[in-house]
Structure 1
Amino acid sequence: MTPSTACLAQLSRLCISANKPAVNFISTRSISSTATRLAPKTTKTATRGSNPQKNKKKGEVIKKKKTSSSFQQYDLKAMEQFSLCDAMRYIRAFEVGKRPTSVKYEMAIKLKTLKNGPVVRNRLRLPHPVKTDLRICVICPPDSAHATAAKAAGATLVGEEAIFEAVKDGRIEFDRCICQVDSLAKMNKAQMGRFLGPRGLMPSAKMGTVVKDPSTVLKDLIGGAEYRERLGVVRMAIGQLGFTPEEMQRNIRVFMEAVKKDMGQLSEKINKELAEVVLSSTNSPGFSLNGDFRSPNSVTPRELSTS
């Protein structure tokens, strides 16, 4: 007869096995491999910077964006334009409290022109100079007649060796530099190009700053200004805030005639036309001019003549 203790042990084992959950005999490794095989294949999407030629479908043609060969133009009929007196009146309202000599009127002439065509550039002396404090250095024999004439014409520095030593010491106290032909060899021997070249002050025959008579060039440089077309626009300072409307009118007329003359000297194949004229100042927005001196509702020129 089986002892009672053995029967109790078998009953306890049966109870424990009945309470345990069913064991899953499928291994984890087999499940992961099966899921990998059954998962759908993902396609690579085009990322930023990828080559569109590789992503396009076979036979598909990608259209390139058309670029304009000329600069954008605006319809002036839908734009408000001003006479010269009205534009000066509004510009002065933006410059209240400023010194008449510290603020400059600037004129921008917008052209109808091609982007890759030749540009308009020149140097001009206005009837009423805008910048009169230009410092000009003249390299010439200090005891020559050219030195005496250059000093009388308004040159700031005149000489040879003294100027060379000052430039090498870093004391470049001038805005323009002219060299007389007789001093050209000494200037090159002193290696002035190393110091003046990076600053754009080195005299050269191509730029018209190596001359026989410096005094004649000084008259054009003092009070003169350079203008150059950039992105289809020719800009230049045209006056000071204290200029009268009549002085501004004379400066504008000379500037416009010079730009038209430069455009006329270009090749016949190059066509440039005036599109718009804008007057602005140091701190004001631009005002498109309609070509009139004053309108019926404009203030009198005398009211704009007070600084």
Structure 2
Amino acid sequence: MSSYNSFLPTAARTILSPSWAPALREKSITPIVLNSYQQIRGAKVQSKGKSQTKQKRGPRYFHQKDLRNIQQFALCDAMRYIRAFEVGRDPRTTKYELHIRLKTMRDGPVIRNMLRFPHSIKTDSRICVVCPPGSRHEKEAKAAGAVLVGEDEVFNLVKAGKIEFDRCVAHPDSMDKLNKAGVARILGPKGLMPSTKTGTVVEDVASRVEMLRGGLIYREKDAVIRMPIGQLAFSPEQVRDNMRVTIDQIKKDAARLSDRINKEIHEIVLSSSHGPGFSLNGEFKSDESIASEALTGS
């Protein structure tokens, strides 16, 4: 068995050496040695204890900025600054972009839908339609402008990595075959998998193709809905009309979720493909706004 000296600190072993033996007889030294030894033992025991504190949960709602602390702009003023940032770029390809910030909980359903603008932004979207070959739906989809129509032909191209379309619509009669084809793991991450929730599984595929060519699909992410709202060549009136339709549709989407889920529009920000964002105050013009004709075209 080891000697008790091996368990003592170095300083204590020095004091207990034969040269210090006479000093041990003094009562004043013994308490000092014992107290220091007890403190060290106590420190070791305390370090082994487990923390009983529980981690606090994060906030239930997404944090949004206080609008009283930021500068906001009328629509025409925001468009004026954005066009200055986009000088030299093609106004037909550069887009105005809308960012709608929501007051909403972190956990819960999200808003996602599709809409058609009164002033179409993009008419060259490539639409794929999955429907029974040889049916009237195939003929109507091709007449509406779909670039790829069918079933097995579509599945083979997707598996080969040749996804040359921007949207995918499916007829209900082809959904079973689509699910069994094993292409969901490819189309899903790209946001191209047809779904009833996004309105891309419909009976009238031709009308949906026409709508998608002039509209878009949007989805809430991290309490923000982002979407293009118009070309840079659009007039302020055209951008305003598209914004009105968008805001009205999002309010309807929020009302359909649930009576227990409260989603409200907190802020609307207008930006562009390469420019910064400007928070809008809800006004169309201000006293310093220029004529809308100067904000239209190239």
TM-score, with structure 1 as normaliser: 0.73
Work out the percentage of aligned pairs sharing the same amino acid: 51
Q: Deviations over 1:220-261 (max 9, x none)?
A: 222222222233222222122221111100011111111112
Deviation at 1:65, TM superposition (A): 5.6
Structure 1 equivalent of residue 165 of structure 2: 174
Alignment partner, residue 103 of structure 1 = 94
Q: 1:270 to 1:86 in 2, by over 3 A?
A: same
TM-aligned CA deviation for residue 210 of structure 1: 3.6
2:51 corresponds to: 53
Deviation at 1:193, TM superposition (A): 4.1
Deviation for aligned residue 1:81: 1.1
- Give the 3 Å change call, closer, same or farther, for CA 85–144 of structure 1 in structure 2: same
Deviation at 1:163, TM superposition (A): 3.1
1:271 aligned residue: 262
Give the residue type in structure 2 aligned to 1:76: L
Between 284-293 and 204-213, the greater mean CA deviation after superposition: 204-213
Question: CA-to-partner distance for each residue in 1:149-184, whole Å, 9 max, x for gaps?
Answer: 111211011234433443343322222222334445
- The question of whether the paired residues in 1 share the 8 Å contact of 2:91 and 2:232 is answered with yes
Match of 1:306 in 2: 297
Tell me the SS of whatever aligns to 1:253.
helix
**Superposed counterparts of 1:1-307, under 5 Å:** 34-35=13-14, 42=40, 43=43, 53=51, 67-184=58-175, 187=178, 190-193=181-184, 195-197=186-188, 199-205=190-196, 207-307=198-298
What is the aligned length?
Answer: 268
Assess, with a 3 A threshold, how the Cα gap between structure 1 residues 303 and 72 changes in structure 2: closer, same or farther: same
1:128 Cα offset (Å): 1.9
Aligned mates of 1:44, 1:240 — CA distance in 2 = 69
Q: CA deviation at 1:291?
A: 0.9
C-alpha distance in 2, partners of 1:189/1:129? 36
Name the CA shift for 1:192/1:257 in 2 (closer, same or farther; >3 Å): same
* 1:169 maps to amino acid: A
* Separation (CA, whole Å) in 1 of partners of 2:129 and 2:229: 27
Q: Which letter does structure 2 place at the counterpart of 1:82?
A: F
Which letter does structure 2 place at the counterpart of 1:35? T
CA distance in 2 between partners of 1:201 and 1:74 (Å): 33
Structure 2, gaps ≥5 residues long: 1-9, 17-32
- Shift of residue 197, structure 1, vs aligned partner: 4.7
Name whichever of 139-148 and 38-47 sits farther off.
38-47
Please report the RMSD computed on the Cα atoms of aligned residues, expressed in angstroms.
3.3
What is the rounded CA distance, in whole Å, between the counterparts of 2:64 and 2:180 in structure 1? 51
Aligned equivalents of 1:183, 1:231: Cα separation in 2? 33
Find the structure with the greater CA-based Rg: 1
TM-score by length of 2: 0.75
Aligned to 2:168, what secondary structure does the other structure show? strand
Which residue matches 2:23? none
